Amino acid sequence: MENHNLNSISFTQVKINDDFWSTRLRNHQNTTLKACLEKCETEERILNFERTYNGNADEGFTGVAFNDSDVYKVIEGVGYSLQNNPNKELEEYVDSIIDKIGMAQQEDGYLDNYFVLGRMDEKWTDMMAHELYCAGHMIEGAIAYKNATGKRKFLDVAIRFADHIVDVFGEGKKNWIVGHQEIELALVKLYRETGEKKYLNLAKWFIEQRGHNNEWTDKVWSREKYGGKKYNQDDKPVRELSKITGHAVRAMYYFCGVADVAAIEDEESYMEALYRLWDNTVNRNMYITGGIGSSRDNEGFTGDYDLPNDTAYCETCAAVGMVYWNHRMNLMTKDSKYVDIVEKELYNGVISGVSLDGTKFFYENPLESHGDHHRKEWYDVSCCPTQIARFIPSVGDYIYAKDEDGVYLNLYISNTLTTEFRGKEIKITQSTNYPWDGRVNIKIEKSVDEEMGLFIRYPSWCKTMNVEINEEKINNYEIQKGYIKLIRKWSENDEIHLNMIMPIELVKSNVKVKQNLGKVAIQRGPLIYCIEEVDNENIDDIKIDSRMRFLSEYKSNLLNGCVVIIGKKDDKKVVAIPYYAWDNRKPGKMKVWIKNEEERLYDLL
């Protein structure tokens, strides 16, 4: 039996009508999905499946070993999109792709085009070949598509592949360390979908294999490009982990799988490790934007407080992974500090990965650019575009959660929630101009004839929040793990008004981050700001300090509408825009951390 303290409320129960997010959701459906599907066609991701079922092994496989996963991730994104935005033409097109996937599957359930097309004698021989990574994304995509359309064809393909994997791996079978984690969390999803305990058992087995002295993995990770078993989080068993190491995306997917198993099987030792890893990640290895992974050499971590800005890796996939992991941690703990990270990622580290028109993508998200870093339409390794394709339409998953006591309001996004509480339907609407404005109106449209709790997140960035219920100010509200606790018998048309004051703040880095000594960053509400050369002359010479007069101004005709921050002192002027929106206009330099005129103070610390 699962031991989640909170239950996630699916985005299918949430109708978003928000100025900020609705634009992104429309761009995703109309532009991003189509762009990724077209690239899967033109870059021969889909053609690889056709070659497999036609027996054209002599034509060979196009691209990197894990190209199959891009197709699966886009299908997952289509599934999420279709649930709230039915599109017959798009569905029929994806059905035709699924037909090709099904025809490419081998008799024993195996399906990986990289190996079937000329390398079958090598299957299940190379831990770094991403076979299980591709299988995991197949499972996730298949579940999403079945839930959207009711069609089981893709799910049946995924189940046959999963059954093959169960036959090959496990206690007394083939020894294995997963090269790129993903299968673990996917198998837990499949367990939840089917109720088949064998998938959960195998997910845990894969987790438990890591961190032991396996001679085979010693040889794999000793290769110079990996730099040891820490690269793959294979240096210690999960229960002994305390520091985040190695490849950032691998780490995120690993921790998600560990959290999923811990939630179901009440593995407290797993949770203790996750608490330590979270503290080390967030407080010593995370950028102010929520980005993680400072090194391009290993696409991950080097050491605590090593956070260079211009060479920061901060892979888009890793930012999405942080959302996945922190969402799980919130469900298990009812602690809003994890949602603070979800929000930081959403408004900074994730959406920076896609252009405002939805057509171009960042793989890396540095915090400083010399003018030579730009989004691209596609990459040879296109995990980040397809990650965005599957993530954006599911953003509604993170707005609410619930338990036996009531509903937890995690994110401030205009929407209508229709769900059940103790078996009866409730309906709640939320109206706001967040993240530009901290005022939020919550209305009870339909309630139950008994007490119900509303637990409203008090964001970590917020210093002052005013709360009113039906225009009566609430002065002595209780805060529980970062949530304002409001329990009462609600009536229809009851309204809660929130007003979160959004001052412009100059943020200092931890003095142990040497790269940021003598510098400050600008934050307003959940948003981190940056300066771009297109708005500021001589960007390398700009210095700001607390004596500047800062103003915020909403500009509807700039960057799809955004609040700009303007700093003035004497004849000096600095213009800052939200970090997520940089590189959407004229190419040029960019900085998040800006020189401070009081920098000598930092040098003395």
Tell me the three state secondary structure of residue 472.
strand
The pLDDT, as a whole number, for residue 425 is 96
Q: What angle do CA 386, 122, 58 make, to 5 degrees?
A: 75
Tens digit of each residue's pLDDT (9 = 90 or more) over 565-589: 999 988 889 999 999 999 999 999 9
Q: What is the mean pLDDT of residues 127-142?
A: 95
pLDDT at 577: 98
Average pLDDT, the chain: 93
Q: Which has the higher per-residue pLDDT, 221 or 179?
A: 179
Read off the tokens for 310: 């211009």
Q: What is the mean pLDDT of residues 50-69?
A: 89
Query: Is residue 1 over pLDDT 60?
Result: no
Residues 588, 197: Cα–Cα separation, whole Å: 54
What percentage of the chain carries pLDDT values higher than 70?
96
Worst-scoring range by mean pLDDT, 185-189, 215-219, 244-248, 337-341?
215-219
From 579, 511, 582, 574, select the one nearest 546 (Cα to Cα): 574
Is 383 annotated in the active site? yes
| pLDDT value, residue 601 | 43
Are the CB atoms for 332 and 259 separated by under 8 Å? yes
In this structure, whether the domain defined by 401-501 belongs to CATH 3.40.190 is answered with: no
Euclidean distance between the first and the last CA atom of the chain, given in angstroms as a whole number: 52
The two three-digit tokens of residue 459, written as one number: 């964001």
Q: How far is the CA of 395 from the CAs of 124, 160, 208, 301, in angstroms?
A: 35, 30, 31, 27
Residue 462 near residue 500, CB atoms below 8 Å: yes
Q: Could you identify the residue written with the tokens 């967040």?
A: 434
- Distance between CA atoms of 507 and 530, rounded to whole angstroms? 12
- Domain(s) labelled CATH 2.60.420 in the chain stretch across 401-501
Share of the chain above pLDDT 90, in %: 87
Q: How far apart are CA 520 and CA 542, in angstroms?
A: 12
CB distance 426 to 22 below 8 Å: no
Over the stretch 86-109, which tens digit does the pLDDT of each residue have?
Answer: 999 999 999 999 999 999 999 999
Residue 192 reports pLDDT greater than 50: yes
Rounded (5°) CA angle 594-320-150: 155
Report how far residue 184's alpha carbon sits from residue 536's, in angstroms, rounded to the nearest whole number: 47
Which CA distances in Å does 598 have to 279, 300, 488?
A: 30, 32, 50
Which pLDDT value is given to residue 584?
97
CA–CA distance, 262 with 537 (Å, rounded to integer): 52
Q: What is the mean pLDDT of residues 397-414?
A: 97
pLDDT band at 285 (very low <50, low <70, confident <90, very high): very high
- pLDDT for res 55: 82
pLDDT of residue 215: 66
Kindly state the helix (H) or strand (E) to which residue 595 belongs, with its residue range: strand 594-596
Per-residue pLDDT of 203-221, as tens digits, reads 999 999 999 876 666 666 6
317 annotated active-site: no
Q: Which of 317, 383, 384, 562 is catalytic?
A: 383
What's the farthest any 2 CA atoms get from each other in the chain? 75
- Positive or negative: CA dihedral 293, 299, 300, 306: negative
Confidence of residue 224 (pLDDT cuts 50, 70, 90): low
Active-site residue, selected from the candidate residues 76, 140, 184, 299: 299
Amino acid 363: pLDDT = 93
Confidence of residue 4 (pLDDT cuts 50, 70, 90): low
